[in-house]
Amino acid sequence: MLRIAASPRFSLLKRSLATHTITTAPTVVAAPPMRHDWTKDRVKRVYATPLLDLVFRAASVHRQHHDPSKVQLCTLMNIKSGGCSEDCSYCSQSSRYTTATKASRLLEIEPVLEAARKAKENGSTRFCMGAAWRDLAGRKRGFERILEMVREVRKMDMEVCTTLGMLSPTQAKQLKEAGLTAYNHNLDTSREYYPQVITTRTYDDRLDTISHVRDAGISVCSGGILGLGESDADRVGLIWEAANMPEHPESFPVNALVPIKGTPLENNEPVSHHVLLRTIATARIVLPTTIIRLAAGRQGLSENEQAMCFMAGANAVFTGDQMLTTPCSPWDEDKAMLSRWGLEGMRSFEQRSVARKENLGMEEVPAEGGAQSL
């Protein structure tokens, strides 16, 4: 048998390693202050950082402001589909286009509550309800039904979100009084590119609704869609708009366009993964305390591609049976995937900015229906 004798130098090193314990405590890096004075040029420079360096920086910022082991699981339900008078060129719910999506009436309360209970049982802690409307004008009875849906879902100790089109200040206050946690109203893209996508509602209309929501004490969920035909400058412009709001949005959904037959954008090429990754990482750096929500289009990503998005700072997903008009990854698949990564679900109201608007101390955050072990 061949024997290799250890050299005296190796033996000394081995003894040294065995008898010395490193007792230095890990260095805690203080999170830098949040900025509201971003310029487009500065956001552009962040966005243009070499991709791996950008992801590394975003991951570092993420760990300064968030628990990197936590992901918010959200479920979205379409409570009134189709027949919308808007001309959003990506949306199959517009009455202006011939698509497979058919107009339907607003759902009754009980099927919605049943879906919310199912979502909670499967680990979701935020339940979102969407109605295909331009606004709530002339929909008093329908709005009253939605307010009751909000009240009942909130009783389940879940976060409640709606997206109902444009709101007046009074409507926003009514939603807050009913218990609404967050309101989704995406900017979609930059101010400059916006008219190429939508003509029936202005960019300032969207910002006005966001202001009404914020003033009512409701958390703002506002992001955009990639793959509309926009440029890098437009993605920078979208992030810049969110960064210069009086308060950074509580969540920033990043959607990848799912082209739908019959819409003007049906032939658009899918957005590349590196563009999606670069957008998520830039948003994480510029909006450090915001939840970055990997939203529509996620089902088209491989597990490795999704993992990179979470490395870059994404920390929320939609999961369940369906999004508004596009496919969604099922709960079981998502929970198995996240478990492989060592991630677990956030509790309801775990995000500090949300808890503050709900007048909850962290000790009041519900222990059930939240921290789900995946």
Catalytic residues: 84, 88, 91, 128, 161, 221, 293
> Who contacts 296 (Cβ-Cβ below 8 Å, separation ≥6)?
225, 255, 256, 257, 258, 318, 323, 326
Cα distance between residue 220 and residue 212, in whole Å: 10
**What does residue 171 show for φ and ψ, rounded to 5 degrees?**
-65, -40
How many other C-beta atoms can be found within 10 angstroms of the C-beta atom of residue 23? 5
Q: Are 138 and 349 in contact (CB under 8 A)?
A: no
Distance between CA 221 and CA 245 in Å, rounded? Answer: 12
Is the CB of residue 252 less than 8 Å from the CB of residue 242? yes
Contact 215, 239 (CB under 8 A): no
Characterize 333-361 residue by residue with b for buried, 16 or more Cβ atoms within 10 angstroms of its Cβ, and e for exposed: ebbebbeeeebbbbbbbbbebbbebbeee
Other C-beta atoms closer than 10 Å to the C-beta of 78 total 20
Torsion from C-alpha of 113, 119, 125, 131, nearest 10 degrees = -60
Backbone CA torsion sign across 337, 341, 347, 351:
negative
Amino acid present at 63: R
Question: Residue 154: helix, strand or coil by DSSP?
Answer: helix
